[in-house]
């Protein structure tokens, strides 16, 4: 305990009162309300690995339609872990994917049943990202082809009009703020893209993948919009109807208060960007620039999922607390465009005090289809402001999980 820390105003008041009264009375502070989220170490253990895929952030989960779940990750460690550290020869690649079998009643899969994929080794023999920008995606920035990368956003499986299935994985096209610059935040968004897998039921090593620029992503430097930070597939009203894909985005505005915006498209044709329409507060516009805020106090990645509770369907938005806050947050709504509730804190991340460097938590996301009845499974990530701290402690920078009772979300 640090005995030299300054006294709070309450403590000073108490001491003055005791001096004037000639006695000291204990001043008890009410304990903070206990938050409903509880750690799920059995899920943590699935992603604690010492060889191959050894950590990543991002952590979107996609139902493949055949019982399997596809995990989408951004920056990923590939190599080995020795003595609790990412060992010499390990490499950080910009994205990876994982595939797991079906789970029953929220029980995690067996450790060895998960399979992870990244890119084939380059000329230097080192692993590469699962997907890299193609030359034709350089857009209006000369560095976008040769010195840029993708981080993975949300994804979904659709049933296109011609039959079969397609897997859509939305991508954030990234580059460095300053060439040669250092630090874990030396990056900027160049735009958005989409990866389309035409044979998603095949082994991922055999996938046929095409890429396309997302023309709706704004990258002017002001009011930038990153689309597909969350997806929600609303099923059609009748059998065989493809339904609607709601596409959430984040608008960066002045200051730190990011806004959530919304688009929609026919689910079967969501890879055709001309079908996208944007919520303008009253209806749906053809212009991305007409998008209006549906809620704020947001972060760059989150999830929106339908959850049934109390005989009703609800939408639940999960995110980490903005501006390096330590809480995992949820919001609820009855409709994709809202109105959305104020956020509710469901978990406080407390295991960030280790190491010499400041750490932070982010990447909060829900995984409703992997949850036990009456609960919502949520993941988050811990990282460090210092890259070498992350290298030296392999217990951070990988998904951590909690379980949150649904009655605490909808009370």
Q: Is the model's pLDDT at 15 over the cut of 70? A: no
Taking CA atoms, 95 is separated from 172, 276, 318, 387, in Å, by 11, 26, 22, 17
* pLDDT tier at 180, thresholds 50, 70, 90: low
| Lowest mean pLDDT segment, chosen from 8-17, 140-149, 397-406 | 8-17
Share of the chain above pLDDT 70, in %: 83
Cα dihedral across residues 163, 165, 170, 171: positive or negative: negative
Q: Return the CATH number of the domain spanning residue range 34-409.
A: 2.115.10
Give the mean pLDDT of the chain: 87
**Token pair recorded at residue 128:** 């590469």
Q: How far apart are CA 130 and CA 118, in angstroms?
A: 4
| Lowest mean pLDDT segment, chosen from 14-23, 31-40, 362-371, 373-382 | 14-23
Tell me the chain's radius of gyration from C-alpha atoms. 23
pLDDT at site 232: 98
Contact 376, 406 (CB under 8 A): yes
pLDDT at site 177: 66
Across 204-231, average pLDDT: 88
Contact 168, 276 (CB under 8 A): no
* pLDDT tier at 303, thresholds 50, 70, 90: very high
pLDDT at site 242: 73
pLDDT at site 298: 94
Higher local confidence (pLDDT), 241 or 120: 120
pLDDT at site 147: 76
Convert 303-365 into a string of H (helix), E (strand) and C (coil).
EEEEEEECCEEEEEEEEECCCCCCEEEEEEECCCCCCCCCCEEEEECCCCCCCCCCEEEEEEE
pLDDT at site 188: 80
Q: How many C-beta atoms lie closer than 10 Å to residue 305's C-beta?
A: 21
CB-based burial, 336-357: b 16+ in 10 Å, e otherwise = bbbebbebbbbbebeeeeeeee
Per residue in 101-128, pLDDT tens? 999 999 999 999 999 999 999 888 899 9
pLDDT at site 30: 46
Across 255-279, average pLDDT: 94
Q: Is the model's pLDDT at 337 over the cut of 60? A: yes
pLDDT at site 257: 84
Q: Is the model's pLDDT at 26 over the cut of 70? A: no
Beta-ladder partners of 75: none
Share of the chain above pLDDT 90, in %: 73
DSSP conformation class of 17: H
Q: Is the model's pLDDT at 24 over the cut of 60? A: no
Q: Is the model's pLDDT at 37 over the cut of 80? A: yes
Across 366-381, average pLDDT: 98
Q: Is the model's pLDDT at 256 over the cut of 60? A: yes
* pLDDT tier at 235, thresholds 50, 70, 90: confident
All structural domains of the chain with their residue ranges: 34-409
pLDDT at site 246: 98
Q: Is the model's pLDDT at 355 over the cut of 50? A: yes
pLDDT at site 57: 97
Across 153-182, average pLDDT: 86
Q: Is the model's pLDDT at 260 over the cut of 70? A: yes
pLDDT at site 175: 85
Sort 239 into a burial class: Cβ within 10 Å, 0-12 / 13-18 / 19+: exposed
First to last CA, the chain: 38
Cβ partners under 8 Å of residue 274, min gap 6: none
- The residue whose two tokens read 């460097």 is 357
**Backbone angles phi and psi of 404, in degrees to 5:** -120, 120
pLDDT at site 301: 94
pLDDT at site 132: 95
CA angle 300, 379, 338 (to 5 degrees): 55
CB-based burial, 243-268: b 16+ in 10 Å, e otherwise = ebbbbbbbbbeeeeebbbbbbbbbbb
């Amino acid at each position: 305990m640090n005995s030299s820390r300054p006294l709070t105003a309450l403590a000073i008041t108490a001491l003055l009162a005791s001096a004037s009264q000639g006695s000291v009375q204990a001043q008890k502070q009410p304990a903070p309300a206990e938050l409903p989220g509880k750690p799920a170490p059995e899920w943590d253990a699935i992603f604690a690995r010492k060889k191959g895929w050894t950590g990543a952030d991002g952590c979107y989960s996609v139902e493949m339609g055949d019982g399997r779940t596809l995990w989408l990750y951004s920056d990923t460690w590939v190599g080995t872990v020795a003595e609790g550290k990412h060992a010499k020869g390990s490499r950080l690649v910009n994205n990876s994917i994982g595939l797991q079998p079906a789970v029953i009643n929220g029980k995690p899969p067996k450790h060895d049943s998960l399979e992870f994929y990244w890119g084939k080794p380059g000329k230097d023999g080192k692993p590469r990202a699962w997907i890299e920008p193609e030359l034709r995606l350089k857009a209006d920035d000369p560095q976008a082809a040769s010195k840029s990368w993708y981080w993975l956003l949300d994804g979904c499986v659709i049933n296109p009009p011609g039959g079969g299935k397609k897997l859509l994985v939305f991508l954030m096209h990234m580059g460095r703020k300053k060439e040669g610059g250092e630090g874990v935040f030396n990056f900027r968004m160049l735009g958005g893209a989409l990866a389309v897998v035409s044979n998603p039921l095949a082994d991922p090593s055999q996938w046929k993948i095409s890429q396309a620029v997302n023309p709706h992503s704004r990258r002017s430097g002001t009011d930038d919009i990153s689309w597909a930070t969350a997806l929600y597939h609303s099923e059609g009203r009748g059998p065989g109807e493809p339904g609607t894909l709601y596409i959430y985005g984040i608008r960066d505005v002045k200051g730190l208060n990011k806004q959530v915006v919304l688009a929609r498209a026919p689910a079967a044709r969501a890879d055709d960007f001309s079908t996208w329409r944007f919520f303008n507060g009253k209806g749906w516009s053809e212009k991305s620039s007409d998008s209006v805020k549906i809620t704020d106090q947001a972060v760059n990645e989150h999830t929106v999922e339908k959850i049934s509770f109390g005989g009703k369907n609800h939408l639940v938005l999960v995110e980490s607390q903005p501006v390096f806050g330590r809480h995992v947050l949820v919001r609820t709504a009855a409709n994709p465009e809202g109105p959305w509730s104020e956020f509710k804190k469901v978990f406080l991340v407390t295991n960030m005090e280790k190491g010499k460097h400041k750490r932070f938590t982010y990447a909060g996301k829900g995984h409703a289809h992997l949850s036990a009845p009456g609960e919502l499974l949520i993941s988050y990530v811990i990282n460090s402001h210092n890259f070498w701290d992350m290298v030296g402690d392999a217990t951070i920078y990988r998904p951590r999980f909690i379980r949150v009772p649904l009655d605490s979300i909808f009370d």
